[in-house]
């Protein structure tokens, strides 16, 4: 148990579907992140939220739409995805974004786009 919970753990969707990934952290952190993990590639930072405000969009295609209603919850809305979007999507949290420190990761949501 890392304190960061992601659902669903596995998701299969067609290219025309709309689905959402959910992340919840119970650590009292102020910053939350979405990362993409593809095979044989380093973790790619997608979005960063600090105190519910988006502070980073790492040139992510608009078919990925994040939402952060409060500091404990983070969503990633998916629509019109491509097969190359199949990957493990990891949520993470940290105390804040103004300094270095440990990122606490969830177990990830394994996404397969058909």
Partner 1 sequence: GESVGLHLPTLSVQEGDNSIINCAYSNSASDYFIWYKQESGKGPQFIIDIRSNMDKRQGQRVTVLLNKTVKHLSLQIAATQPGDSAVYFCAENGPSGTYKYIFGTGTRLKVLA
Burial of 16 (0-12, 13-18, 19+ CB in 10 A): exposed
3-state secondary structure of 83: helix
Shortest reach from residue 23's CB to partner 1, in Å:
11
Single residue of 11, 21, 33, 36 touching partner 1 by CB under 8 A: 33
Question: Binding residue for partner 1 (CB under 8 A) from 11, 21, 31, 74?
Answer: 31
CB-wise, 18 or 26, nearer to partner 1? 26
C-alpha distances (whole Å) from 3 to each of 72, 82, 85, 86 are: 11, 31, 26, 25
Residue closer to partner 1, measured from CB, 17 or 97:
97
Asked whether position 102 contacts partner 1 by CB under 8 A, the answer is yes
Exactly one of 21, 48, 76, 81 binds partner 1 (CB under 8 A); that residue is 48
Residues of this chain that bind partner 1 (CB under 8 A): 2, 4, 6, 31, 33, 40-43, 45, 48, 56, 90, 94, 97-108
């Amino acid at each position: 148990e890392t304190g960061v919970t992601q659902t669903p753990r596995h998701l299969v969707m067609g290219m025309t579907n709309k689905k959402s990934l959910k992340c919840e952290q119970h650590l009292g952190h102020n910053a939350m992140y979405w990362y993409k993990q593809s095979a044989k590639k380093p973790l790619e930072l997608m979005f960063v939220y600090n105190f519910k405000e988006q502070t980073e969009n790492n040139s992510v295609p608009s078919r990925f739409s994040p939402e952060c209603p409060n500091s404990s919850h983070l969503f990633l809305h998916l629509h019109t995805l491509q097969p190359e979007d199949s990957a493990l999507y990891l949520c993470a949290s940290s105390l804040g974004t103004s300094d270095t420190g440990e990122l606490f990761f969830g177990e990830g949501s394994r996404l397969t786009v058909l």
